[in-house]
């Protein structure tokens, strides 16, 4: 089975592209959602996160996302340590999930594919891009972050100018109709490649 990576900077619209692919019958694994789920359900992950970040990482048994974000987004070393705990667990879960899928290819949506040099895990990679100002606008509207907070989060990610040459397919996600057409073309190309 072919494994396709779906990535893009914060606010680029990875989830929109993932949803379009799902609507076309493609199994899509959202790493961010699954990572949060695993951090809640895995006792091993919970213990390691508490050891790294402290007891405040969980409030009443629930992941304290605001506390964790505040700690790691301004400390790249701590963020790398957290990723080293969470990413292998997500990867293992994804591989088990992908074996259960009945489709010529599966897609793993993951924000930091290039940042974590995970390219070798994928047969093909789809990169979603959008202009910086649009991305900032989307994120501030989506989760109430300030422009400065969004720019700080963007600072932890590689720029599109670095990622574009590394991707097999690029979706410029500005206009939904154009994005839908492009995603349909990519889906057909991937099916033909299988």
Which of 31, 35, 8 has the alpha carbon at shortest distance from 183?
A: 8
**Listed residue (75, 61, 112, 69) closest to 91, CA to CA:** 112
Which residues constitute the domain of residue 122? 1-27+105-194
**119 and 138, same structural domain?**
yes
Q: Could you give the percent of the chain with pLDDT greater than 90?
A: 69
Examine the domain organization and report whether 91 and 140 are in the same domain.
no
The CA-based diameter of the chain, rounded to the nearest angstrom, is: 50
Examine the domain organization and report whether 78 and 151 are in the same domain: no
Q: What is the CATH number of the domain that holds 166?
A: 3.40.50.300
61-71 mean pLDDT: 87
The pLDDT, as a whole number, for residue 82 is: 93
Last residue of a domain, one of 100, 120, 138: 100
Same domain? 112 vs 169: yes
Do residues 39 and 47 lie in contact, with contact meaning Cβ atoms separated by under 8 Å? no
**Are 138 and 180 found together in one domain?**
yes
> Would the pLDDT of 116 be above 90?
no
- List pLDDT tens digits, range 5-33: 999 999 999 999 999 999 999 999 999 99
Same domain? For 96 and 122 the reply is: no
Do 115 and 21 lie in a common domain? yes
- Does residue 39 contact residue 45 with C-beta atoms inside 8 Å? yes
Domain boundary among 46, 75, 100: 100
Q: Give the domain-ending residue among 55, 81, 100.
A: 100
What is the tally of structural domains in the chain?
2
- Whether the per-residue pLDDT at 57 is higher than 80: the answer is yes
Answer yes or no: do 189 and 126 share one domain.
yes
Does 118 lie in the same domain as 83?
Answer: no
């Amino acid at each position: 089975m072919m494994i396709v990576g779906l990535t893009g900077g914060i606010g680029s619209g990875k989830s929109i592209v993932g949803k379009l692919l799902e609507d076309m019958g493609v199994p899509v694994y959202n790493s961010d959602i699954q990572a949060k789920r695993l951090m809640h359900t895995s006792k091993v992950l919970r213990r390691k996160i508490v050891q790294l970040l402290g007891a405040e990482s969980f409030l009443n048994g629930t992941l304290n996302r605001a506390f964790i974000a505040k700690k790691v987004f301004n400390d790249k070393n701590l963020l790398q340590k957290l990723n080293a705990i969470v990413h292998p667990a997500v990867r293992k879960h994804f591989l088990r999930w992908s074996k259960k899928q009945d489709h010529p290819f599966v897609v793993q949506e993951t924000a930091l594919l290039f940042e974590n040099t995970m390219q070798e895990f994928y047969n093909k990679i789809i990169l979603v891009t959008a202009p910086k100002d649009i991305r900032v606008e989307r994120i501030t509207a989506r989760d109430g972050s300030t422009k400065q907070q969004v720019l700080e989060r963007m600072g932890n990610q590689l720029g599109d100018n670095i990622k574009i040459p590394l991707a097999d397919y690029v979706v410029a996600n500005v206009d939904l109709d154009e994005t839908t057409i492009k995603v349909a073309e990519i889906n057909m190309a991937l099916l033909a490649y299988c």
